[in-house]
Amino acid sequence: MNTFRNMTTKQLGQWGEDYACKYFRAQNMRIIERNWRYSRYGEIDIVARASNSLVFLEVKK
């Protein structure tokens, strides 16, 4: 049974971002922003904080 096969690319990306956020929270990281856009430069899927570090994550298939 492959549930991912019936997902659109957008749905799969959303699922991956949600999964990554759950993982980060389980590691006691705080999600600061999701889908953060910086004008013409693009988007970062997740910005999180782990103690004294910032983590920038781009979810890929």
With cut-offs at 50, 70 and 90, classify the pLDDT of residue 1. very low
What is the spatial distance between Cα 41 and Cα 15, in angstroms, rounded to a whole number? 24
What is the spatial distance between Cα 37 and Cα 1, in angstroms, rounded to a whole number? 36
* Neighbour tally for 26: CB within 10 Å: 8
pLDDT 10s digits, 23-46: 999 999 999 999 999 888 899 999
With cut-offs at 50, 70 and 90, classify the pLDDT of residue 2. low
Residue 14's Cα: distance from chain center in Å?
Answer: 8
